[in-house]
Amino acid sequence: MANFLEKNNRFDKLTIGIVLAIIIGALIIGVMVYFALKNSTGNQVKEHGQIDVSVPAPATSTVQCLAPEEVLATKIIDGDTIIVEGGFNVRLLGIDADERGYPCYEGASKRLEELILNKKVRLERDITDVDQYQRCLRHVFLDKQNIDLELVKEGLAIARFYEPDVKYKDEIVSAEKTAVEKKVGCKWSDSKPVIQEEEGKISFQWEKLTTQATGLKVVGVCNATGEIGKEVIVEGKIVDGYKSKTNTVFLNFEKPYPNHCFTSVIFSSDQYKFVQSPESYYSGKTVRIKGKIQEYQGKPEIILKDPSQIEIEE
């Protein structure tokens, strides 16, 4: 009888030990899975700023650029986008030129046409192959001339880099600095070309945010980099709005994030002063914004604390 009880007792202890081991193992695995999932969310939203671009986003497309390295440039879209033989759309890396309707659009487009149209160019890949619009991302060379660099040297485009595509960053940023200091080209000269309005199109009308009313300089949002630290009025189109998990609103200008050239920020503590859902209300509208330009993560921005800082075009 004693032997039977002893065996039974050992069996119970063994069973309890196995059950405890299973429970502990399950807990450990659960914790590991939780932290793995938490850390694998890719892009993290920050308190001030949108997606942390230092963390690479997971690939969402398997599209590849099939344009050959040596190819004929057949069409100029604008100062930073071309079409090459075979119909491939190519976005020049490291620069940003004005869109249609902005002062330096014509100058940059015509100069790029002079440099490479109907000529064989070399397309040099950096790290990223295509962008969200499925355009080939390339540095463009004519013989040994870096066309991206040339447009910045001539003051027709600005330097614009996004990680991890920074191969010629030092040269292009240096060229931009020299162009700014010497007031070279359309981007940096004191006189800007006048934009001719299309027939039947009404020009923008402003009542409050004008130089006459405020005494402040008016600049295009994509030229705001040269005004960091100054109080000015910036003008441009808000193409998308975003509200973070901390209820901070970001209004991105000219191109969607992360290719925007300027951002306006409304912190949650000030949103009660503005219209409901400003991220939706202002999206798609051309506006002027008044304030001191700051730099955040390499991009110019203005913090909006009051609705009097923003005016929608009439």
Query: pLDDT digits over 220-250, tens only?
Result: 888 888 889 999 999 999 998 989 988 999 9
Give residue 17's pLDDT.
Answer: 63
Q: How far apart are CA 221 and CA 237, in angstroms?
A: 8
Query: pLDDT digits over 254-273, tens only?
Result: 988 888 899 999 999 999 89
Give residue 277's pLDDT.
Answer: 87
- Among residues 6, 47, 69, 91, which one is catalytic? 91
Give percent of the chain above pLDDT 70: 78
Give residue 16's pLDDT.
Answer: 64
Q: How far apart are CA 143 and CA 93, in angstroms?
A: 17
Q: For residue 184, give the nearest of 101, 91, 107 by alpha carbon.
A: 107
Domains with residue ranges and CATH for the chain: 70-188 (2.40.50.90), 211-312 (2.40.50.140)
Q: How far apart are CA 138 and CA 117, in angstroms?
A: 16
100 is catalytic: no
Query: pLDDT digits over 189-216, tens only?
Result: 876 564 444 444 444 567 889 888 888 9
Give residue 35's pLDDT.
Answer: 55
Give residue 249's pLDDT.
Answer: 94
Give residue 50's pLDDT.
Answer: 42
Q: How far apart are CA 149 and CA 16, in angstroms?
A: 72
Q: How far apart are CA 137 and CA 134, in angstroms?
A: 9
Residues 75-84 have a mean pLDDT of 93
Q: pTM (2 decimals)?
A: 0.49
- Phi first, then psi, for residue 263 (nearest 5°) are -135, 140
- Among residues 111, 135, 138, 288, which one is catalytic? 135
Give residue 47's pLDDT.
Answer: 45
* pLDDT at 7 exceeding the cut of 80: no
| Three-state DSSP class for residue 45 | strand
Give residue 15's pLDDT.
Answer: 62
Residues 6 or more apart whose Cβ sits within 8 Å of residue 305:
270, 273
User: Do 92 and 80 meet the contact criterion of CB atoms below 8 Å apart?
Assistant: yes
* pLDDT at 59 exceeding the cut of 90: no
* pLDDT at 51 exceeding the cut of 80: no
Residue with tokens 């700014």: 180
- Among residues 99, 154, 301, 311, which one is catalytic? 99
91 is catalytic: yes
Q: Which of 4-8, 50-54, 74-78, 166-170 has the lowest mean pLDDT?
A: 50-54
